[in-house]
């Protein structure tokens, strides 16, 4: 199975999200951790509260590259709900 990795991209001038997809953060603890790399052992670079809208920048295995405000990193696919 091949997985695609995406380089972070800038928002498009039209105001649309880069890949047209957002996700809603969901976690029993109330916060979704954003990691520097797609691994639970990577450094945490930020958090998003439950209900927050994350911009999806790409996907790598079960992880999604996201942007939440000024924070950019990876979240586990188990902690978000994709909005199509």
Q: How many other C-beta atoms are found inside a 10 Å radius of the C-beta of residue 45?
A: 14
Supply the CATH number for residue 29's domain: 2.30.30.40
Which pLDDT value is given to residue 20? 56
Q: Does residue 32 lie in a domain region? A: yes
Number of domains in the chain: 1
Q: What is the pLDDT of residue 11?
A: 37
Range of the domain at 40: 22-83
Residue 45 lies in a domain: yes
> Is there a domain that residue 38 lies in?
yes
| pLDDT at 5 > cutoff 50 | no
pTM of the model: 0.74
β-pair partners for 23: 54, 82
Q: How far apart are CA 15 and CA 75, in angstroms?
A: 23
pLDDT in tens, 21-64: 899 999 888 999 999 999 999 999 999 999 999 999 999 999 99
CA dist 18 and 30 (Å) reads 27
pLDDT at residue 9 is higher than 50: no
Is residue 64, in this structure, part of any structural domain at all? yes
């Amino acid at each position: 199975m091949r997985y695609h990795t995406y380089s972070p991209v800038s928002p498009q001038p039209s105001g649309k999200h880069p890949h047209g997809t957002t996700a809603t953060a969901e976690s029993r603890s109330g916060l979704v951790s954003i990691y520097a790399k797609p691994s639970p052992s990577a450094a945490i670079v930020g958090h998003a509260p439950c209900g927050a809208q994350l911009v999806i920048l790409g996907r790598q295995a079960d992880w999604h590259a996201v942007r939440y405000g000024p924070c950019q990193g990876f979240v586990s696919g188990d902690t978000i709900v994709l909005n199509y």
